[in-house]
Amino acid sequence: MTADHHHPAELAPVEARIAAIESVLVEKGLLDTEAVDAIVRNFEDNLGPMNGAKVVARAWTDQAYKERLLADGTAAIRELGFEGPEGDYMVVVENTPEVHNLVVCTLCSCYPWPTLGLPPKWYKAPAYRSRAVREPRKLLAEMGTVIPDGVEIRVWDSSAEARYLVLPMRPDGTDEMTEEQLAGVVTRDSMIGVQRL
């Protein structure tokens, strides 16, 4: 599923154009690929996902906030200062012992950037986009998350109109943790629904 700059034919048209532009900028010495990779890693690992983790940690520690979050995700997320393009209308769905939620965008790669940062490559891959709908339990198991047969899996299809964020179940043994410590437990993948904490 992965493609590199040496095989632009394997890329989607827009990705091929970006790869070509990047290649020219690197050749002319105007772009440092290591710097770009560092910026992307920062968005993937720190900025976006940490915003979502703060939202989840607040919901785990503040019942009134959790109720607002589930009733109006956009407004509750905005309370913590996270808003903007790709997060204009947010719906938060809660994992429970009976229900596991999974987020996908079947048409392209709509994704809540203000709370999760940049989408992972696999999220945009056609295999993930189709299999998340057709065989979510099998796909999750292959990604290392086994959902018991008795647990319902609900698949949410993000779009330009609505983006979804999974509120994972609070892990056992975290009762004494602070909100900040709890945020450190939350992962990007748990807020997409491909991982259980």
Selection from 157, 162, 156, 190 nearest residue 87 by Cα: 162
The Cα–Cα gap between 168 and 61 comes to 13
Structure tokens belonging to residue 147:
């959902």
Would residue 109 show up in a list of annotated catalytic residues for this protein?
yes
pLDDT at residue 164 greater than cutoff 50: yes
Choosing from 23, 108, 130, 159, the catalytic residue is 108
pLDDT in tens, 99-138: 999 999 998 879 998 999 889 999 999 999 999 999 999 9
pLDDT given at position 7: 38
pLDDT given at position 153: 98
Instruction: Return the CA Rg of the chain.
Output: 18
Name all domains of the chain by residue range, CATH numbers in brackets. 11-192 (3.90.330.10)
Virtual CA dihedral for 164, 3, 41, 22, nearest 10 degrees?
Answer: -110
Per-chain mean pLDDT for the chain: 89
Tell me the three state secondary structure of residue 39: helix
**Contacts with 23 (C-beta within 8 Å, 6 or more apart), sequence order:** 5
pLDDT at residue 66 greater than cutoff 90: yes
Choosing from 23, 110, 130, 190, the catalytic residue is 110
Would residue 190 show up in a list of annotated catalytic residues for this protein?
no
The answer to whether the predicted template modeling score (pTM) of the entire model surpasses 0.85 is: no
- Give the relative orientation of helices 48-61 and 63-71 as an angle to the nearest 10 degrees: 120
Choosing from 109, 158, 159, 190, the catalytic residue is 109
Structure tokens belonging to residue 98:
């009976």
pLDDT given at position 58: 98
The pLDDT-based confidence of 42 (bands split at 50, 70, 90) is low
Residue 42: left if φ>0, alpha if ψ -120 to 50, beta else—which one? alpha
Would residue 158 show up in a list of annotated catalytic residues for this protein?
no
Would residue 110 show up in a list of annotated catalytic residues for this protein?
yes
